[in-house]
Structure 1
Amino acid sequence: MTRRITRTLLVLTSVLLVLAVVPLAVSLTARERVAFRDSQRAATRVIAAAAEEHLSDHRPPGALRGELAAAARAGDCAAVYDASGRLVARTSCGAAVGEEARELVTGVLAGHEPEGPENEGRLLTAEPAGEVHRPAGAVVLARSATPYHARVAAIWGWAAVITAAGLGASVLLSVRLARWVSRPLSALDTTARKLGEGALDERADVGGGPPEVRWLAATFNTMAARTEALLHGHRAVIADVSHQLRTPLTALRLRLDVLAAGAQGGTAAELAAAQEEVARLSRLVDGLLAVARAEQATPRPAAVRVGEVVAERVAAWAPVAEERGVRLAARAGPDVCAALGHGHLEQILDNLIANAVEAVAAGGSVTVGHRPEPGVVRVSVTDDGPGMPDELKAVAFRRFGHPRARGTGLGLAIVHRLVTANGGTARLRDTPGGGLTVVLDLPRWS
C-alpha cells in the first residue's frame, strides 16, 4: 500500500508541477528575451539620435563618437551607416559590420523594422537614424547574448529546483500518508490473525489512522468481543453438559453393576442389556462433546512432524489391530512438517484408525501414509474393508452421517471439524480393489 500511494501521489505531483512550472518558465524566458531586446533597441536608438544630428543636421561627430564610446564601454559593438549604406563610424569591435549587418541596414533604409539573428553569441538589432520612411542612415548594434542566456539558464535552473523540491516534498508526504493509513491496517491484520489463532482477548488499536480505519478497528473489536463471549459461553455449556451427564451416567452404571452382581436368569440378561445401553450412551455423550470441542477449535499452528506422529499412532494402535486380526502399517514417507494445532493430528489419526480397524474384517489391512504436495501435506488412511456407497460418502462427515456405523457415527465428523479448523480439507474415495481411503490435505509448514 505504501508503494502504491507513493507512486500515485508522485505521478500526480509530477503532472501538476509540469503543468505549472514549465509554462511559467517558458513565459519568463519569453519576457526575458523581450526585455533584453527592448534594452538593446533603446541603446540603439540613443546612438541613432546622435547619428541623425550628424547625418541630417551636419553637426560635428563628437556626440556620435561619445555614444559609440559609451556603447563600447558597455561591451556592445555598434556601426553607423549613411542613407546610401556606406559605413560612417563604428566601434573598434567589428561584430556590427558584415553581411548580416548590411542586410539589416538595407531593410531599415527601405522602411522596414527587421530584427537581426544571433550571430556568434551576439544579437543584432538595427534602428533608422531619423524618420522611419526617409531615414538619414541606420545604426546596427550587436550585444552579447551571454547575460540573456545566463538569466534564461537561471530561470530554468530555479524551475528544476522547484520541481525537485516539490517531488521530494511529495515523496515525504506520500510516505507519511501511506504509513498513516497502512500501519493501523497492518496492526489490524496482525490482531485478526492472532484472534484466528485462538487469542480471543486480542483487540485492535482504535487510536491511529484515518477515521474510517478507526471505525473499522472499533467494529472489529465489537465482533471480537462477541465472538469471545459466544465461545466462552459454548465452552461453559460443554463443561456443564459434560459434568451433568457423566456424573449420573457413572452413578447409574455403578448401580447396575451392583444389581447385576446378584441377579439370576432373565433378570441378569436384562441388567446386562441395560449396562450395554448405558455404556453406549456414555460413548455417545463423549462423542458429542468431542465434536463440539472440535467445532470450537481455534488452533495456533505449530510445526508438526507428520512422519513421527503417524509412526507413533500406528504403534499405539498396533495391539488393538493385532487383537482383531488386522494388519496395521505405516507407509514410509519423507520428513515433512504440517501447520496444525497441538495434538490435533493425533486426535485425527486416532479416529481414522479406530474407524478403519473396526470396519475391516479379520485378515484385512489398514495402511497410513503421507507425502508432500504443493503447499500441503497429504495424509491417507487406506483400508480394504467393505467400503462405503457414494450416497453415504456425501454425508459421512456430518454427525451421525453413517447410520450403519458400528460406533457412535461421530468419528469422521470430529476429523472433518479438526481438519477444516486448521485450514485443510478431507475427502473420501474408494480404495482400488475394494475398501475406503480417507485423504487429508493439511497445510504445510513453511
Structure 2
Amino acid sequence: MTRRIAWTLLALTSVLLVLAVVPLAVSMTARERVAYRDNQRAATRVIAAASEERLSDHKPATAMRQELDTAARAGDCAAVYDASAHLVASTPCTAAQGEEAAELVGRVLSGHEPEPPENEGRLLAAEPAGEVRRPAGAVVLARSAAPLDTRIATIWGWSAAIGAAGLAASVLLSFRLARWVGRPLSTLDASARRLGEGELDERADVGGGPPEVGRLAATFNTMAARTEALVHGHRAVIADVSHQLRTPLAALRLRLDVLAAGADDSTAAEVAAAQEEIARLSRLVDGLLAVARAEQATPRPTAVRVAEVMAERVAAWSPVAEERGVQLSTVSAGPALIVALGAGHLEQILDNLIANAVEAVPAGGSITLDHRAAGNAARVLVRDDGPGMTAEAKAVAFRRFGNPEARGSGLGLAIVHRLVTANGGTAHLEDTPGGGLTVVLDLPLWPERGHERGVSSRSSPVERTADQDR
C-alpha cells in the first residue's frame, strides 16, 4: 500500500508539473523570440533612418557609416541597398549579402512585408529606407542567433530544474505520507497476526498515523482484550470443571473399591459393573477436556521432523501393542520431511491414532505408520488391518460422539481432526486394501529456510486419550 500511495502521488505530481512547466516554458520561449526580433528590427530601423539621409537627401554618408560601425562593433552584419537593389555600403561582415538578402531587399522595395529567414545561425531582418510604398532603398541586418539560443536554453534549463525540484519534493513528501499512513497499518497487521498465532496479550500501537488508523488500532485493542478475557475465562472454566469432576469421580472409585473388597458374590458383579462405568466416565471426562484444549489451540508453527517423531511414538507404543499381540512398525522409504506444526501436536495426533488402532485391531494384526511427499504437503498415513469402519461411520468419525458404533467415547479422531486443521492440514479416512482403516493426514511443509535451524523432533509433553472410535 505504501508503494501504491507513493507512486500515485508521484504520477499525479508529474502530470501537474508537465501541464504547468512545459506551457510556461513554451510561452516564455515565444516571448523571448519576439523580443529578440523586435530588438533586431529596431536596430535595423536606426540604420535605415541614417541611410535615408544619404539615399534620399544626398547628404554625406557620415551618419550612415557611424551606424554601420556601431552595428559591426555589436557583432551584427548590415548592408545598405539603393532603390535599384545595388549595394551602397556594408559592414566588413558579408552575412547581410547574398541571395536571401537580395530576396528580402526585393520584397521591401516592392512594398511587401518580408519574412525574415534564418541563415547559418543568423537571423536576417530588412527595413525600408524612407517611405514604405516608395522607399529610397533598403537595409538588411544579420544578427547571430546564439544569444537567443542561449536564452532559450536557459529558460528550458530553469524549467527543467524547477520541475526536477518539484518532482524530488513530491517524491519525498509522497513517501513520507505513504509511510505515515502505511506504517501504522503494517504494525496493526503484525499485531493481528501475532494475536492469531496465540499471543493473546498482543496490543497495537494507537499512536502515530492518521486518526482513522488510530481509532482502528484502539478498536483492535478492545477486541483483543475481550478475546483474551474470553479465552482465559474459558480456560479457567475448563480447569475448574476438570478439578470438580475428577475429584468426586476419584472419591467414588475409591468407595467402590472398598465396597468391592467386602462384597459377597451376590453384589460383586454389580460393584464391578459400577466400577467399569466409573472408569468409562473418567475416560469420558478426560476426553472432553482433551477436545476442549485442542479446540483452544492456536499453534505457533515449529519445524518438526516427521520420521523422528514417528519412530519415537512407535517405540513408546510398542510394549502396549506387543501385549495385545499387535505388530506396530514404521516405514521411512521416502525423503526426510519436515512439517510446520504446533509444539507437541504431531505427537498428540499420532498417540490418539495409535491408541485407537491398538484397541481396534485384533491379536495378530498390524499397524503401520508411513509418510511421503504429496505436492506442497507431507502425507502421513496410519494404516491398520482391523475391522475398519462403515461408510456412515467414516462420514461422522471426526465429530465428537459422532460414531454411534464406537466402543469408547469417540473423541480420539475429533482431537486429531481439530489439531490437524488448526495447523492448516487436512484429514480423511480410507479403506486399507485387504481390509482395515487408513487415516490420511496432509500436513503443511516447513519452508526451506527453516531447515537449517529451529528444527526439532520433540516438543512439550502431549496429552492423549485412549478412547476407542471404532
Both proteins in one fold, TM over 0.5 = yes
- Name the counterpart of 1:367: 368
Amino acid in structure 2 at the alignment position of 1:93: C
Amino acid in structure 1 at the alignment position of 2:349: I
SS at match of 1:207: coil
- Name the counterpart of 1:408: 409
CA distance in structure 2 between the aligned counterparts of 1:210 and 1:54, rounded to whole angstroms = 82
Amino acid in structure 2 at the alignment position of 1:254: L
Deviations 1:38-61 (A, max 9, x none): 000000111111111211122211
5 Å-filtered alignment, 1:328-367, equals 328-332=328-332, 333-367=334-368
Query: Deviation at 1:8?
Result: 2.1
CA distance in structure 1 between the aligned counterparts of 2:305 and 2:83, rounded to whole angstroms = 109
5 Å-filtered alignment, 1:210-225, equals 210-225=210-225
CA distance in structure 1 between the aligned counterparts of 2:431 and 2:42, rounded to whole angstroms = 104
Query: Deviation at 1:90?
Result: 0.8
Amino acid in structure 1 at the alignment position of 2:341: L
- Name the counterpart of 2:143: 143
CA distance in structure 2 between the aligned counterparts of 1:12 and 1:373, rounded to whole angstroms = 49
- Name the counterpart of 1:444: 445
CA distance in structure 2 between the aligned counterparts of 1:121 and 1:360, rounded to whole angstroms = 104
Query: Deviation at 1:139?
Result: 0.6
- Name the counterpart of 2:75: 75
Residue ranges of structure 1 left out of the alignment (5+ in a row): none
Query: Deviation at 1:261?
Result: 0.3
- Asked if the contact 1:339/1:443 (under 8 Å) is kept, the reply is yes
Matched, 1:177 2:158: no
- Asked if the contact 1:129/1:139 (under 8 Å) is kept, the reply is yes
- Name the counterpart of 1:289: 289
Query: Deviation at 1:442?
Result: 1.6
SS at match of 1:116: coil
- Name the counterpart of 2:456: none
Which has the higher mean CA deviation after the structures are superposed, 79-88 or 435-444?
Answer: 435-444
Amino acid in structure 2 at the alignment position of 1:335: A
CA distance in structure 2 between the aligned counterparts of 1:444 and 1:182, rounded to whole angstroms = 31
CA distance in structure 2 between the aligned counterparts of 1:8 and 1:204, rounded to whole angstroms = 28
CA distance in structure 2 between the aligned counterparts of 1:243 and 1:49, rounded to whole angstroms = 121
Which has the higher mean CA deviation after the structures are superposed, 8-17 or 124-133?
Answer: 8-17
- Asked if the contact 1:81/1:139 (under 8 Å) is kept, the reply is yes
CA distance in structure 2 between the aligned counterparts of 1:393 and 1:127, rounded to whole angstroms = 108
Amino acid in structure 1 at the alignment position of 2:296: Q
Matched, 1:327 2:327: yes
- Asked if the contact 1:55/1:136 (under 8 Å) is kept, the reply is yes
SS at match of 1:405: coil
CA distance in structure 1 between the aligned counterparts of 2:433 and 2:5, rounded to whole angstroms = 56
- Asked if the contact 1:309/1:345 (under 8 Å) is kept, the reply is yes
CA distance in structure 1 between the aligned counterparts of 2:113 and 2:390, rounded to whole angstroms = 106
Query: Deviation at 1:239?
Result: 0.4
Amino acid in structure 1 at the alignment position of 2:20: A
Deviations 1:399-423 (A, max 9, x none): 0111111221000111111112222
Query: Deviation at 1:288?
Result: 0.4
Query: Deviation at 1:171?
Result: 1.6
- Asked if the contact 1:307/1:334 (under 8 Å) is kept, the reply is no
Amino acid in structure 2 at the alignment position of 1:391: E
CA distance in structure 2 between the aligned counterparts of 1:382 and 1:234, rounded to whole angstroms = 36
Deviations 1:97-146 (A, max 9, x none): 11000000001111111122111111001011111111111110000100
- Name the counterpart of 1:96: 96
Amino acid in structure 1 at the alignment position of 2:417: H
Amino acid in structure 2 at the alignment position of 1:345: L
Deviations 1:318-366 (A, max 9, x none): 1111122221111114322222221111111100111112222222211
5 Å-filtered alignment, 1:101-120, equals 101-120=101-120
Amino acid in structure 2 at the alignment position of 1:9: L
- Name the counterpart of 2:462: none
CA distance in structure 2 between the aligned counterparts of 1:91 and 1:67, rounded to whole angstroms = 10
CA distance in structure 2 between the aligned counterparts of 1:264 and 1:72, rounded to whole angstroms = 146
* Amino-acid identity (%): 80
**Cα RMSD after superposing both structures:** 1.3
- Asked if the contact 2:117/2:124 (under 8 Å) is kept, the reply is yes
Query: Deviation at 1:396?
Result: 1.2
5 Å-filtered alignment, 1:111-130, equals 111-130=111-130
Deviations 1:62-92 (A, max 9, x none): 1111111111111111111111111111111
Amino acid in structure 1 at the alignment position of 2:25: A
CA distance in structure 1 between the aligned counterparts of 2:51 and 2:264, rounded to whole angstroms = 154
CA distance in structure 1 between the aligned counterparts of 2:68 and 2:202, rounded to whole angstroms = 90
- Asked if the contact 2:79/2:88 (under 8 Å) is kept, the reply is yes
SS at match of 1:167: helix
SS at match of 1:115: coil
CA distance in structure 2 between the aligned counterparts of 1:429 and 1:27, rounded to whole angstroms = 82
- Name the counterpart of 2:397: 396
Amino acid in structure 1 at the alignment position of 2:352: N
Dislocated runs of 4+, deviation >6 Å: none
CA distance in structure 2 between the aligned counterparts of 1:299 and 1:209, rounded to whole angstroms = 31
- Name the counterpart of 1:159: 159
SS at match of 2:235: helix
Q: TM-score, normalised by structure 1?
A: 0.97
Deviations 1:234-286 (A, max 9, x none): 00000010000000000000000000001112211100000000000000000
CA distance in structure 2 between the aligned counterparts of 1:434 and 1:57, rounded to whole angstroms = 133
SS at match of 2:116: strand
Query: Deviation at 1:153?
Result: 0.6
CA distance in structure 2 between the aligned counterparts of 1:258 and 1:187, rounded to whole angstroms = 62
Query: Deviation at 1:382?
Result: 1.1
CA distance in structure 2 between the aligned counterparts of 1:357 and 1:182, rounded to whole angstroms = 55
CA distance in structure 1 between the aligned counterparts of 2:111 and 2:387, rounded to whole angstroms = 118
SS at match of 2:368: strand
Residue-pair matches, total: 446
Deviations 1:167-207 (A, max 9, x none): 21122122212221221122112212221221110100011
CA distance in structure 1 between the aligned counterparts of 2:107 and 2:342, rounded to whole angstroms = 98
SS at match of 1:143: strand
5 Å-filtered alignment, 1:210-359, equals 210-332=210-332, 333-359=334-360
